Structure 1
Amino acid sequence: MTTVTTETVETAAGLARITWHPAAGPRLVLAVSHGAGGGIEARDLAALAAALPARGVSVALVEQPWRVAGKKLAPAPKTLDSGWRGVWPALAAPGLPVISGGRSAGARVACRTAADLGAAGVLALSFPLHPPGRPEKTRAEELHAVGQAGVPLLIVQGGNDPFGRPGEFPPGYAPHVVVPHGDHGFAVPRRADIAQDEALAIIVDGVAGWTRSLG
């Protein structure tokens, strides 16, 4: 069993923190960050960190500087991107391909920066396609940027996510992994025909299978 370690990284946006869940013989690094309303304890991030190292993928959970500083509100997208760019050298230090990922706002950061950073792929968990009830405020251009750069993209979405249900995504960018009944945090109702642990297993198995196609 490998040991979880933590390191801090100075970025232009402030001090970020990486919690490493290393694989014994890693073939890839999956770097994932949190959203604007939570941290790396999110159920999907925790599930990936617990399961993927046994499947040859080291997982790096990244806390943006604003979270490390104890602030309640996320800064502007430009600042989030700056923080992500600042941790990238540490993520790439093991010398392995790095998948750039995140949930919600973190997914948007991964999409916006993937091409410039040379990411091996992008994992978008609960991509916020639009604000709830505002489908006209689409952020689909951030997904298009990943596709246009030729970077592999995996979208994992809850079937009942108010920030973008699977059927709302543009052609060519439909979510590859859908969690039935899942909300923006992949929580499923108690009376749904799927249990919470089954929902998380769908995410883990979908991401693990995709990583095998990358290396």
Structure 2
Amino acid sequence: MTGAGPAHVVLGQPAGPAAFLLALTHGAGGTPDTPDVLAVAAAALRLGAVTALVTQPYRVRGGRAPGSPVRQDAAWAEVVAALNSGGLPLVQGGRSNGARVVCRTARQVRAAGVIALAFPLHPPGHPEKSRDSELRAAGAAGTPVLVINGDRDPFGVPEADDATSVVVLAGETHALSKNTAAIGAAVAAWLGTLPWVGQAAGA
């Protein structure tokens, strides 16, 4: 339960001891069972993650528009706090609008990593309306970020910087639905660079 109403969470448990928590969420009008989100969850499970596929409160209510970013971010922070009462290292991820949420809230929830799928850098046809500052908010908090976008995404493709790794998949659109194997491989490689994930994978 959150201040914006109930969220819905589907948990996945790793075969061995839990190394970290991966909280994943959806795009504006979607659900967290899209091919790209599921590929991320599967890769993380193999590396010892407890995975949480989160349907945000506005979608549980049947809404398609997320509404106020402030309210959406507050509800997300409540969900993460409830999920991570055990204090595992937290990686949070999302696609499209969900990617914006996890970038904006990285500092607040003390995320150890952020995965942004199909980050919508700007509305299609309007590069002047950049959301780059939302993406950089996570890196500015010292949180490493992995961005995975398609080279045919009309919402644009962010650029890498010291805190942000960017993987661009050829032939993929905003849906990121064609090459889930490449998504899983990119996520596994990036997660393996995080010290507590690499140690668990090598144990």
Do the two structures share a fold, i.e. TM-score over 0.5?
yes
Quick check: 1:91–1:98 contact (8 Å CA) kept in 2? no
Q: Distance in 1 between matches of 2:7 and 2:44?
A: 23
Q: Which runs of 4+ in 1 moved over 4 A?
A: none
TM-score by length of 1: 0.84
* Aligned residue identity for 2:167: V
Alpha carbons of 1:161 and 1:67: their partners in 2 closer, same or farther (altered >3 Å)?
same
* 1:49 equivalenced with 2:29 (yes/no): no
Q: Using the TM superposition, give the Cα deviation of residue 211 of structure 1 relative to its aligned residue in structure 2, in angstroms.
A: 1.3
- Relative contact order higher in (CA < 8 Å, ≥ 6 apart): 2
Q: Secondary structure at the match of 1:39?
A: coil
- Matched length: 193
Q: Which residue matches 2:100?
A: 108
* 1:99 equivalenced with 2:91 (yes/no): yes
TM-score by length of 2: 0.88
* 1:180 equivalenced with 2:160 (yes/no): no
Q: Which residue matches 2:53?
A: 61
**Which residues of structure 1 form unaligned runs of 5+?**
1-9, 188-195
Alpha carbons of 1:171 and 1:56: their partners in 2 closer, same or farther (altered >3 Å)?
closer
Q: Distance in 1 between matches of 2:160 and 2:37?
A: 27
User: Aligned match of 1:200 in 177, 180, 195?
Assistant: 180
**Which residues of structure 2 form unaligned runs of 5+?**
197-203
1:63-212 equivalences in 2 (<5 Å): 63-165=55-157, 169-170=158-159, 172=161, 176-187=166-177, 196=178, 199-212=179-192
Q: Which residue matches 1:32?
A: 24
* Aligned residue identity for 1:203: I
Quick check: 1:114–1:146 contact (8 Å CA) kept in 2? yes
* Aligned residue identity for 1:200: T
- 1:78-134 C-alpha deviation (Å, 9 max, x unpaired): 121011011011221243101021111111111111011110111111100000010
Q: Using the TM superposition, give the Cα deviation of residue 171 of structure 1 relative to its aligned residue in structure 2, in angstroms.
A: 5.6
Q: Which 10-residue stretch deviates more, 151-160 or 87-96? A: 87-96
Alpha carbons of 1:66 and 1:202: their partners in 2 closer, same or farther (altered >3 Å)?
same
**Identical pairs, percent:** 45
* Aligned residue identity for 1:177: V
Q: Distance in 1 between matches of 2:143 and 2:164?
A: 16
CA RMSD of aligned residues (A): 1.7
